[in-house]
Amino acid sequence: MAATAGGTDTVAPVQAGTAMAPRSRILVIEDSEDIRYLLDALLRERYEVMLAASGDAGLALAASPQRPDIILLDVMMPDMDGYEVLRRLGRDTRTADIPVIFLTALGSVEEEHRGLDLGATDYVTKPISPPVLLARLKLHLERNAYARRLRDLAQQLSRYLAPQVYQSLFEGSRQAEIRTQRKKLTVFFSDIKNFTASTAKWQPEEVTLLLNSYFSEMSAIAAEYGATLDKFIGDAIVIFFGDPQTLGVREDALQCVRMAIAMQKRMEALRLRWRGMGINKTFEIRIGINSGFCDVGNFGSELRMEYTIIGREVNLASRLEQAAEPGEILISSETHALVQGEIGADARDPVMAKGFSEPIPVYAVHTGATESRSGSAIHCDRPGLRVDIDLDRVSAADRAETAASLRQMLEALEAPQPQGAPLPPAAVADQVAPGDAARDGVDPAWPVTLAGLDLALGLRRAMDMKPLYLSMLGRYRDGRRDTPARIRQALDAGDLKTAELLSHSLRGVSAQIGATRVPADAQALEQAIHEGQSRASLETLLAALESSLGELVAALDAGLPPEPARP
């Protein structure tokens, strides 16, 4: 879709049928239609361009699925200036990290500091120098791409570490060095009873699918309870509480046992899902938990290290897991002493475990699995559809939103299906107006001189693209001749803000095309309006602007070549 003459918000089209790498997306938020036109013409060959004529429209495009890689933002705009747009971008998590380059004709150090303090990445002053703008864009896009690659890499590496360890490394509170300490932890072991024997005849892909499904669910619960997930060993999971973050020894033990109960309950929903996939074996997990002093930290070498735990108490938790019955949670007497009064548990016969000379007192936790209400899990798995809802985990606050989402899905399923492939949208006219030399590729006779205009300077500011520059001059002639009358009308109505903005916009566009007198006259009037000078003073300055602008428009009327006739 391309812009119309009215300056609507657009995304410049990508040529159909060409195989190109994704191009960076630039959002231009600029109230001046002439400057939008110039920027679109300058950038469209290198980038995908989005155009917005106001702050509100720009904010909507920035937060849309077509998220820009960088934003060019005008400072002075009606209704909402660039500073307020930048504030709102920073408050929205969807847009806070998008680099913003201010476009401004203000140029004061105070204004520049104000924008940078709000989070702007850079400034480009008007009149815009295309080489400077393109160089700044290239620099900041490369920096942003590099930062994004680092974030993606860090995100991928984070999957190999417990979230707490990853966070402490990036915050600088922990170093990647061989170092351990002795701390009182609560250690958790679990595995799926008889998993290896039950899946011995399965294909590896089937085993992988089931294990990944199981690990994903259990890892989510571990994260919910603040656990440090140590490792996966086959179908076994090793977890501990108490490092690198701790809530206190007793609370760590309580969180661990509560997590274990939640995992046993979650297995009920998993078994329903697996049965829907044709896996009819009754997989159950067994869990062992122990609390005690362990060595925790980085073990290994300078080339390869692992953050983990070792010690007698770790081995005891493993032995308890092996002694537990399917669906059971066994805890040691040390853990029981920490959680009693909060967690129900029954004493079991002491366990004789390998590596321990004395019988080990153990307790079986009341999981409450039999109290789970019937129908608490909803599962459906068929081609094109997969639904898993655990009603026990959907809070009262989230139920209405969940129900609304399901109703939207139902409406989409019940909607009539279109017959055949949809027709492509009608082609939209190019941003360059019909008959423009910039689009038609015509190189008209170049005027030798035009009063009130530095042709060489204006052409340089249009990247020496004669058709583009001539097109801008034609737009200026047709669109700016009545600006003094509009300024006077705003002054008569007491609307000083509009009068100042009209003067500001005229100054910027006039400087961009290389006008010699108009920019200075427009700036003088703009400053006088801003300072609140008398109406008589404003009229004197407005008369000077009318004279210089009238001279320029008359020269353009006489000296610009006519637009070529359309066939």
Q: Which domain holds residue 205?
A: 171-382
> Is residue 396 situated within a structural domain?
no
Q: Mean pLDDT in the chain?
A: 82
More confident residue, 100 or 177: 100
> How far is it, in rounded angstroms, from Cα 337 to Cα 347?
12
- 41, 62: one domain: yes
- 121, 178: one domain: no
Average pLDDT for 333-344: 94
Nearest to 390 by CA among 382, 332, 399: 399
Which of 382, 397, 419 terminates a domain? The answer is: 382
Count of alpha carbons within 13 angstroms of residue 161, beta-carbon side: 20
Which of the residue ranges 334-348, 357-371, 374-388 would you say has the lowest mean pLDDT?
Answer: 374-388
| Tokens linked to 101 | 């380059």
Q: What interhelical angle do 249-276 and 204-224 show, nearest 10?
A: 140
- 231, 351: one domain: yes
Count of alpha carbons within 13 angstroms of residue 104, beta-carbon side: 22
Q: Does 563 have pLDDT greater than 80?
A: no
Please state, as a whole number, how many other Cβ atoms lie within 10 Å of the Cβ of residue 202.
14
Spatial neighbors of 15 by CB under 8 A, at least 6 apart, are: none
> How far is it, in rounded angstroms, from Cα 74 to Cα 292?
62
- 452, 543: one domain: yes
Which of 158, 190, 222 terminates a domain? The answer is: 158
Residue 147 DSSP SS3: helix
pLDDT of residue 430: 39
The CATH number of the domain holding residue 145 is 3.40.50.2300
Please state, as a whole number, how many other Cβ atoms lie within 10 Å of the Cβ of residue 540.
14
Spatial neighbors of 9 by CB under 8 A, at least 6 apart, are: 3, 50, 51, 52, 53, 57, 58, 60, 61
Spatial neighbors of 109 by CB under 8 A, at least 6 apart, are: none
> How far is it, in rounded angstroms, from Cα 471 to Cα 370?
78
Tell me the CA distances in angstroms from 4 to 51, 267, 424, 438, one per residue in order. 11, 58, 19, 16
- pLDDT band at residue 195, thresholds of 50, 70 and 90? confident
Which of the residue ranges 88-97, 157-166, 457-466, 485-494 would you say has the lowest mean pLDDT?
Answer: 157-166
pLDDT of residue 301: 75
* Residue 279 amino acid letter: I
91 — phi, psi (to 5°)?
-85, -15
Tell me the CA distances in angstroms from 235 to 51, 323, 468, 501, 546, one per residue in order. 53, 16, 67, 68, 83
Q: Let me know: does 529 contact 109? Beta carbons within 8 Å.
A: no
Which of the residue ranges 200-209, 361-370, 436-445 would you say has the lowest mean pLDDT?
Answer: 436-445
Q: Does 53 have pLDDT greater than 60?
A: yes
> Is residue 135 situated within a structural domain?
yes
Nearest to 391 by CA among 403, 409, 383, 382: 403
- 283, 315: one domain: yes
> Is residue 400 situated within a structural domain?
no
- 553, 456: one domain: yes
- 228, 374: one domain: yes
Task: Taking the CA atoms of 131, 136, 141 and 143 in sequence, report the sign of the dihedral they define.
Answer: positive
Q: What angle do CA 139, 30, 3 make, to 5 degrees?
A: 100
Give the model confidence (pLDDT) of 167-191 as tens digits: 666 665 565 566 778 999 999 999 9
| Tokens linked to 540 | 């004197």
- The structural domain count of the chain equals 3
311: left (phi over 0), alpha (psi -120 to 50) or beta: left
> How far is it, in rounded angstroms, from Cα 183 to Cα 557?
86
pLDDT of residue 442: 43
> How far is it, in rounded angstroms, from Cα 280 to Cα 457?
79
More confident residue, 508 or 562: 508
Q: What are the E-state strand segments in 267-324?
A: 285-300, 305-310
> How far is it, in rounded angstroms, from Cα 354 to Cα 157?
37
Average pLDDT for 266-281: 82
| Tokens linked to 409 | 């899905």
- 247, 300: one domain: yes
- 180, 66: one domain: no
Q: Does 514 have pLDDT greater than 80?
A: yes
What's the DSSP call for residue 393?
G
Q: Does 315 have pLDDT greater than 90?
A: yes
Element (H, E) at 563: none
Place of tokens 């009182």: 184
The CATH number of the domain holding residue 212 is 3.30.70.1230
> Is residue 1 situated within a structural domain?
no
> Is residue 2 situated within a structural domain?
no
> Is residue 78 situated within a structural domain?
yes
Please state, as a whole number, how many other Cβ atoms lie within 10 Å of the Cβ of residue 517.
18
> Is residue 331 situated within a structural domain?
yes
- 459, 495: one domain: yes
> Is residue 96 situated within a structural domain?
yes
Give the model confidence (pLDDT) of 467-496 as tens digits: 889 899 999 999 999 999 999 999 999 999
| Tokens linked to 370 | 């039999």
- 122, 181: one domain: no
Omega before residue 13 within 30° of 0, cis: no
- 135, 64: one domain: yes
> How far is it, in rounded angstroms, from Cα 376 to Cα 389?
8
Q: Let me know: does 36 contact 69? Beta carbons within 8 Å.
A: no
Count of alpha carbons within 13 angstroms of residue 27, beta-carbon side: 29
Element (H, E) at 158: helix 130-158
